[in-house]
Structure 1
Amino acid sequence: MIELLKKYKAFFIGLLIIVPAFIILDYLNFLNIPRDQPVEVIVITAFWALVIALPIHNYQYLKRKKKAVIGITSLFVLLFFTVLYDSYMKLPDNPITFISLMIFWFGLAYFLVPNFIKKYWKFIVFLYTPLLIYFLYLRLFSGDLEAYLKVKEETPFYIFFLPIPVFFVLWIFEQWKWVQELKKEKSKTELALLKTQINPHFFFNTLNNLYALTVKNSPQAPEVILKLSDMMRYTIYDGEKEKVKISEEIEYLNNYIELHKIRYKKSVEITFNHNIDTTYNVPPLLYIILLENAFKHGIETLTEKAFIHIDLYEDANFIYFDIENNFDASEINNSKGIGLQNLKRRLSLLYNQQHELNISSQKNIYKTQLKTPKHA
């Protein structure tokens, strides 16, 4: 909301200009502000504030658009001659003046907010055509001038200005929608960037291991190639999707675990239990950072009795990913890994604080639980 107010501060500048101007003109008797018609005064004040605000708001646009400047200048020339004509004729509510002023205002709006006018021109015509016909009927066909003025006193003429705040609110709504779309696009861009930041060191390490296996003619080499190929395909292609089946995410994690097992020559206990409906959809590459950290800061720091226990399960509303691993307490790494920061930012964008990420460390045991809503 603050961003919206900053973006459209021109309207408040318009109010700061028009309100003192009206007060001064009324004090000098160049303008008669009716004290008994507050609604009409507010509507007209807001309207003129908007008229002043639009050129201020579109200043950069007008600098680039010579045709728009020429068009607006022509409209103000029309306004000038209309005021002269109206002063010369001295006819109350002169129909020609009324129509000329409508041409001026709609022309000005068209040059300053063309997309809005093009989008809502049918709605504008729908609202203003009956009002114009009603005015012309009262002015030209309801009798002589005295009869018209009597009808005018009994008719709430501010109805002719009521569409103005309606369109103003509609315009503000359009701008609000634009800001929301901009935020949404920004979030999508950030998510895409965050996905590409998944640590690539695993793939390079696996390629090095694969090279060693091929040199030794190990029978494990084809299996490693197949699993690495599946993981790369999933990362590159499925990683671009908004959602994937959780069964695919499970397969990806299993491949990651199996490839790591091939690396280690020491005793490692790794369990991965998944008691969950595998048809659920989840964002891709959601759990890999937590699993990477368990290997990087757990198994790789220990020479024996290393373990990682993983549980993926559900309740009525949430999906849980629990991971527990031991580590060498003498090799504490106080640096804040980019992977975990990456995950926290991504979770915030995906779930808007509907998730929970709990991390705890006790003695040489590290526990993490990620809780995400099923239907986000």
Structure 2
Amino acid sequence: MNTKLNKSDWTLLAIIYGVTIFLNIIDYYREGNYLIEYIVDFPLYIIISLSLILFFLHILIPKFLVYKKDYLRFFMYTIAILTLGGSIDNFIGHLTAGKDITKISSIILFLQNGLYNASDMIGLPIGILLVKKLYEGKTELLEVEKKQKENELKLLRSQIDPHFLFNNLNTLDSLIDTQPIKAKEYINRLSLIYRYLIKTKDAEVMELSNEIEFAKNYIFLIKTRFGDDYEFTIKENITLKDKFIPTGAIQALLENVVKHNKSDGISAIKTTITINKGWLIITNSKSKIKSTNESFGTGLDNLKARYKLLSDEKIQIHNMDAKFEVFIPIITLSE
């Protein structure tokens, strides 16, 4: 469950605080409270309540419930934090009401009242927020699962796409008579690609080293078909061991380059695959000539949807005047 507050969450909190303060103003008026209590108590209530809610949503719940599932420590920290926050609010409330704090009869009772006060302060808003988050999370999960099924179907279709096979057979046909040695290499690379696609068709993620080897074979097909129209460079700045990415991700990104960029015959479309800590980056120069080639991959939108199930990180896309850049997160399963 995503515990970060979005725009609608803040709007909901504003409504809750607005209604709560309005009702408290009525109670203060009936009880004849001092003006200083209006000025201090209500802002203080919002500050403490909101601070507790944010602390729970951003620190306590993710750390002790989502990741560690340490319920005992979560309970202990909850009691301590609520007692502290509620006691501070009670203490300042005593001062603004003009009460003598030296006449507090029991510290234990004072802290107990602080716990009750804080529970009352954040119980309703955090309860509503968590229910909202739970509903949104389930809705989003259903949508992502639906897209995932669509992506799997598109990926499977891309692996046996007749256009892909037709184009490669045409290239192979032209090589057989003119460059028979290269034709044999082309057949070998093409068979490795299809073997890999069949082997990995049910895998959510694959080792980055395997995907890079697949990319090298795939680049060979592109270079053979288009000649000097495209240039590719692979920079491995980290070890690829225990690193994973979604199956077919590099294929989709390379297809995206070929689909949207066509060389003018003078300057090649230069593409660099850079592997850094945490990210695989594909950068390509842009062409003003639009290619009419078919796209055989899942596409950037489908790749974004797949990452929603696999990682907390999101794909980054930078579309600049002279180049196009895509950052995809590297998944480390051993962490």
**Which of structures 1 and 2 has the larger relative contact order (alpha carbons within 8 angstroms, sep 6+)?**
2
Bigger-Rg structure (1/2): 1
TM-score by length of 1: 0.44
TM-score by length of 2: 0.49
